Amino acid sequence: MAKNVAARRNVVPLRRSRGGPLVTHHEVINRALALELVRVTEHAAVAAARLRGRGDEMAADKAAVDAMRRELNQLAIHGTVVIGEGERDQAPMLFIGEEVGDLSGPRVDIALDPLEGATLCAKGQPNAIAVIAMAQPGSLLNAPDCYMDKVAIGPGYAEGIVSLDASPAENIYRLAKAKGVAIDEITACILDRPRHAKLIAAVRATGAAVRLITDGDVAAVIDVTDPAKTGVDIYLGVGGAPEGVLAAAALKCMGGRMQGRLILDTPESRRRAEAMGIDDFSRVYDVDDMASGNVLFAATGVTTGGLLAGVRFGPQGVTTDTIVMRSSTGTLRRIRAEHGLTAKFSAD
């Protein structure tokens, strides 16, 4: 009985570092794994970047998956993939429920997309990234592979500035007022899909600008955290639910605001949601509902986008651009790594 209560509360026993004080589970994650995640996303990004612009999404995605999986399995963790490439029967690698790592270290849940924006990579377009989030067991929403309605803004705003229950116009007005700017200084990022025709028209009717993207809504949500650099103030619209969890993990680390509501409009999607323990189909999830506790997040650019430069191959080696974040400290590190000719990548 006590064991079950501890599991529900996500209580992790303390362990003693060699010759030192007791170390908690979240300290183990912070100290040992933050920079290790950078290596994981770097390898996935380099593997995918070798196939940029070649028009083969599947080959680029497979290269990134293979590289990320190999690097993950070198980490001293007992990881479980909760957001991955699909279910076991649909994805040969990094499927939901797969255990990764050498299984010797702390238990962690992992959300990942080895190549977020496979189409962007295949076409050589901006904002393809390799991305991963890691947290204590039970901290990341195990979202089914369905759509999610989303609204997201960056850090520095009070709760309730934007809401899925508000109209697009109301969200734009509220954000402009909170920023202290005119509405025509607001830019909303929206996936360019037929389903968003009314949403796009409603945003433009306010006088705000719309930036349309073809893919890559994890990168697009992250863009709202630095409007001065990316030019994006708010993300609106329907995208993938797994991508929503990854985006929430990033916003958890950076202090951004986000709401998401699963779109479960078919018997199959509802069945899958129920199998994952979701019983309230109308629930609105905020950042903490999707990514709670101590979260680590890393993303490496595959193609150049708003926040990250793409992988660069040169005569002296390979250059990568990565952000790595920790929610427990609010730390964001930008790592521009130059890997010499002797560097060994999984794609080599």
Residues of 287-305 as b/e, b for ≥16 C-beta within 10 angstroms? beebbbbbbbbbbbbbbbb
Residues of 119-132 as b/e, b for ≥16 C-beta within 10 angstroms? bbbbbebbbbbbbb
pLDDT tens, position by position, for the chain (348 residues)? 333 333 333 333 333 334 444 445 555 556 568 889 999 999 999 999 999 999 999 999 999 999 999 999 999 999 999 998 766 545 567 888 899 999 988 899 999 999 999 999 999 999 999 999 999 999 999 888 899 999 999 999 999 999 999 999 999 999 999 999 999 999 999 999 999 999 999 999 999 999 999 999 999 999 999 999 999 999 999 999 999 999 999 999 999 999 999 999 989 889 988 988 898 999 999 999 999 999 999 999 999 998 899 999 999 899 999 999 999 888 899 999 999 876 666 444
The verdict on domain 31-139+295-345 having CATH code 3.30.540.10 is yes
Instruction: For domain 147-290, give its CATH number from 3.40.190.90, 3.10.20.30, 3.40.720.10, 3.90.1150.10.
Output: 3.40.190.90
Looking up tokens 């909170």 gives: 178
What is the Cα–Cα distance from 61 to 58, expressed in whole angstroms?
5
Contact indicator for 285, 164 with CB cutoff of 8 Å: no
Contact indicator for 194, 122 with CB cutoff of 8 Å: no
What torsion, rounded to 10 degrees, do the Cα atoms 142, 146, 150, 154 define? 50
Contact indicator for 151, 258 with CB cutoff of 8 Å: yes
Tell me the three state secondary structure of residue 342.
coil
Domain extents for the chain? Answer: 31-139+295-345, 147-290
37 CB-side CA count, 13 A: 32
Indicate the angle between helix axes 197-205 and 168-179, nearest 10 degrees: 40
Contact indicator for 291, 334 with CB cutoff of 8 Å: no
**How many angstroms from the chain centroid is the CA of residue 119?**
17
> Binding site membership: which residues?
61, 85, 113, 116, 243
Contact indicator for 200, 212 with CB cutoff of 8 Å: yes
Name which of 36, 24, 7 is nearest 138 in CA terms. Answer: 7
Contact indicator for 40, 64 with CB cutoff of 8 Å: no
Strand partners, 184: none
Q: In this structure, what DSSP letter does residue 156 have? A: S
293 CB-side CA count, 13 A: 20
What sign results for the dihedral spanned by CA atoms 139, 239, 213, 85?
A: positive
- What is residue 8's predicted lDDT score, i.e. its pLDDT? 31
Name which of 97, 165, 104 is nearest 137 in CA terms. Answer: 97
Indicate the angle between helix axes 57-72 and 25-49, nearest 10 degrees: 150
- What is residue 87's predicted lDDT score, i.e. its pLDDT? 61
- What is residue 317's predicted lDDT score, i.e. its pLDDT? 92
What is the Cα–Cα distance from 51 to 61, expressed in whole angstroms?
9
Inter-CA distances, 257 with 116, 166, 313, 316, 328, Å: 21, 15, 36, 41, 17
Contact indicator for 64, 93 with CB cutoff of 8 Å: no
What is the Cα–Cα distance from 101 to 74, expressed in whole angstroms?
6
What is the Cα–Cα distance from 125 to 134, expressed in whole angstroms?
27
Burial group, residue 224, by CB count within 10 angstroms (0-12, 13-18, 19+): buried
> Binding site membership for Mn(2+): which residues?
61, 85, 113, 116, 243
